[in-house]
Structure 1
């Protein structure tokens, strides 16, 4: 974590940038980077989208082996980009990437909704992701039923076919009606089945609630039945979404309290011109357009984290990234809700986008600006395909500038005081032709999720384990693991921390000095 004096300097730079409403100069960016200490904990995630076969599987009907190979390649990419978390879309359209008793197999696996793919994609993804020491967050779309509007094209056993009053057409798609209590409970049950039956690290919603600009969304019948006591349709709809969010929190806490529960909403809650509490922007408002009170969820403590999609460049007139970052930081400050930023990897280098997105360093500048706000503890990149494409080297530039050191995932504040894992043991540290070979051994009854390996030139103080400059590797957990540090030298000291699934760390291991 940065020293207080440095943080004061960084805040001053951020305020100056916001006041002048211009992008950071290269001089400012260099000054901030020089003053910045890499974080020991940082969310580094990417979204892998399945809807319309955006990312995985790349097309319907691939063989099981082809699908598995594609997923493993996404994990290779995450490791290459020094990420630590995957956000995998497993319920894109009221369907499932696992054998669900609630909804049919997704059409994006085989090409036919309801067709068994011959293996368990989610089970495979969980196992392989954890083998790499990466976290897997299950990404759900809560209400979307279909990307087309004909109910007769749904699988005959689809809940929308069996309960036609549950679904409504809008904008060429089908949606579950959020205003029906039985629908809300059903959607929760369908999602919780995956959470309760798989070793997942998080439950994640995207930004789709009520359809955008849904004045023509025909839920008048449900409003007449359930809307008594609300001043208008919009207030009732917001309450419906609030109930979904609040109840999901309660169900996660009751069932799997050590996983993360969060939402990645559209980036503008309300504009200041509409509400004095809003941001200095002029764009689509989630509170009004989607009936999603995103600011309220944070202030009421209903989420473990929020990851607003700030898909604008620094200085963009309707919605300036440099104005939204401090606004969201202020919203999250002191709430216990972690703040991660959704980054628009898909815009960088796209020739159809504004000239600012043709700057290879635009995304890196976003992460530099984030450093001025200690409330921000990481980023999630959309989407995996764009992280791979790396147009104009925009992604590798951001990685080189900001992901130089490994990083552990953040600990949820509500779990920080939980039982720490058992200490690890550094059983060996010896020179080889490739560097220093380090062997780490688990000591407790439970296998750690990860090992964090530290290297020092002399015996360290306790504070030095908080400095990511000393962290040389985050390794997948096992009873024992051997790893070679290519930069290690004789005379140095190696220590390891065991890391559990909640990202809590053990006390440091014994120190092992390299003497031969």
Structure 2
């Protein structure tokens, strides 16, 4: 989730499909019929067996100061107080995990030897904020009984295309051949083996330094398609793409390698730590692939992001997956209920934990369809999930909305399903 400009993706002529939590601003989705789903008032999950081993998480986005810090340039004391307030909110909502974005744009929220301090702390990339946000987050989360999942974005460098705006020491300036401008942003080229090794080293430095509970990625692999633009990896494909039937297969192999290698290194560094990924919610449409979901999504991770998310689960390469099912029950182009059942089938027998990414940010947003104006919509999601034993928890986007709770959707969900605190999920 390196949430930056909120993405909207075409579902068809009359609707759009908004992207994951990493984007701080939600794209409007076309009007949809309000589902007549269940009320969500079934016996609270907190009073049943799901209270043990159930993950209840929230994303805490730092990109563009989406959730925290509330703005760049706050004092160290102000930043720390804001962080602790979010952790306290998670406890108050009876959550047990926080996914803190610690590498939003090829930078760091800890003293990394690989990359500069994040600009979202001080306003200046590379400037020491005077404290250790990630170290503090781990200590304070654990003191509150919360897991701390460190959330990284592997390939995004910047939400602009001007390398001179990066810190002078930035690896992207030292290795301009690693960089691809695309869609108004800068990315590391996933097709270069040296890039794949570097981004792993940069991310896993945090795992070596801190007792983080998991390494967590969101939905950014190859970038989302931008009409009329081409991701220029011609030279890398010419050098490394031999033996693949086409460029798309080579790109998927690049991402597969990143996933497999990272998974192995996580276990080498700290066997108790987990590795989880939160992809866009549609792998492929059934009209594209009979193994796909009954959706009409304009974006398919397999084809457009070159991320074979289904394969990662079926092969057991990762410890958990959190598909971003950011649509309401009954939404014609991407029905939450149908996608939930599809992902439950993918996870069945894999040994990979299935958690569901929930679009709390849409609740009460007047730009969203009618279903999202109902405070009970999210509670219905959790009620529906009780019919799928493969679902082991939910993660909410994101921290700001977990606290503000615009129309009481979070409070309703907690009352209906989180009747008591849940022990740490393992």
**TM-score higher than 0.5 here?**
yes
* Preserved CA contact (<8 Å) 2:321 2:355: yes
* Preserved CA contact (<8 Å) 1:48 1:89: yes
- Note the C-alpha offset of 1:409: 2.8
**Which residue pairs with 2:4 in the alignment?**
none
1:166 aligns with 2:178: yes
RMSD: 1.6
* Preserved CA contact (<8 Å) 1:38 1:405: no
Q: Of the two structures, which has the highest relative contact order with CA contacts closer than 8 Å and spacing of 6 or more?
A: 2
Residues 361-401 of structure 1 deviation map (CA, whole Å, 9 limit, x = unaligned): 00000000000001000001001001112111000000000
* Preserved CA contact (<8 Å) 1:360 1:393: yes
- Note the C-alpha offset of 1:25: 3.7
Cα distance in 2 for residues equivalent to 1:318 and 1:297: 25
Deviates more, 1:207-216 or 1:343-352: 207-216
Aligned partner of 2:111 among 84, 99, 105: 99
Distance 1:128 1:31, change over 3 A: closer
Aligned partner of 2:250 among 226, 233, 236: 236
1:152-301 equivalences in 2 (<5 Å): 152-213=164-225, 216-283=230-297, 284-301=299-316
Unpaired segments ≥5 residues, structure 2: 1-33
SS in 2 for 1:341: strand
- Note the C-alpha offset of 1:193: 0.5
**Which residue pairs with 1:37 in the alignment?**
48
1:24 aligns with 2:37: yes
Q: Hey, which of these two has a bigger chunk of strand by percent?
A: 1
1:79 aligns with 2:91: yes
Residues 156-189 of structure 1 deviation map (CA, whole Å, 9 limit, x = unaligned): 1100000000011011100000000000000000
Cα distance in 2 for residues equivalent to 1:148 and 1:84: 35
**Which residue pairs with 1:388 in the alignment?**
403
- Note the C-alpha offset of 1:23: 3.8
SS in 1 for 2:83: helix
* Preserved CA contact (<8 Å) 1:91 1:139: yes
* Preserved CA contact (<8 Å) 2:285 2:293: yes
- Note the C-alpha offset of 1:126: 1.2
Deviates more, 1:223-232 or 1:116-125: 116-125
Aligned partner of 1:115 among 113, 123, 127: 127
* Preserved CA contact (<8 Å) 1:138 1:203: yes
Residues 427-484 of structure 1 deviation map (CA, whole Å, 9 limit, x = unaligned): xxxxxxxxxxxxxxxxxxxxxxxxxxxxxxxxxxxxxxxxxxxxxxxxxxxxxxxxxx
Unpaired segments ≥5 residues, structure 1: 1-20, 412-516
- Note the C-alpha offset of 1:254: 0.8
Cα distance in 2 for residues equivalent to 1:220 and 1:160: 19
- Note the C-alpha offset of 1:407: 1.1
Cα distance in 1 for residues equivalent to 2:271 and 2:187: 29
* Preserved CA contact (<8 Å) 2:328 2:335: yes
* Preserved CA contact (<8 Å) 1:350 1:357: yes
**Which residue pairs with 1:321 in the alignment?**
336
Cα distance in 1 for residues equivalent to 2:35 and 2:109: 44
Cα distance in 1 for residues equivalent to 2:196 and 2:77: 36
Distance 1:192 1:31, change over 3 A: closer
1:383-462 equivalences in 2 (<5 Å): 383-411=398-426
SS in 2 for 1:395: helix
- Note the C-alpha offset of 1:135: 0.8
* Preserved CA contact (<8 Å) 2:43 2:417: no
Cα distance in 2 for residues equivalent to 1:31 and 1:89: 34
Aligned partner of 1:147 among 159, 164, 171: 159
Residues 215-265 of structure 1 deviation map (CA, whole Å, 9 limit, x = unaligned): 610011100010000111111000000000000000011111101111000
Distance 1:385 1:229, change over 3 A: same
SS in 2 for 1:346: helix
- Note the C-alpha offset of 1:30: 4.7
- Note the C-alpha offset of 1:122: 1.1
Cα distance in 2 for residues equivalent to 1:198 and 1:91: 15
1:331 aligns with 2:342: no
Cα distance in 1 for residues equivalent to 2:394 and 2:38: 22
**Which residue pairs with 1:342 in the alignment?**
357
Task: Give me the TM-score of the superposition, normalised by structure 2.
Answer: 0.89
Larger radius of gyration: 1
- Note the C-alpha offset of 1:38: 4.5
Cα distance in 2 for residues equivalent to 1:308 and 1:171: 24
- Note the C-alpha offset of 1:31: 5.7
**Which residue pairs with 1:354 in the alignment?**
369
Cα distance in 1 for residues equivalent to 2:156 and 2:180: 10
SS in 2 for 1:137: strand
- Note the C-alpha offset of 1:273: 0.3
* Preserved CA contact (<8 Å) 1:32 1:368: no
Cα distance in 2 for residues equivalent to 1:110 and 1:125: 18
* Preserved CA contact (<8 Å) 2:340 2:385: yes
Structure 1 consecutive aligned stretches of length 4 or more whose deviation exceeds 3 Å? 29-34
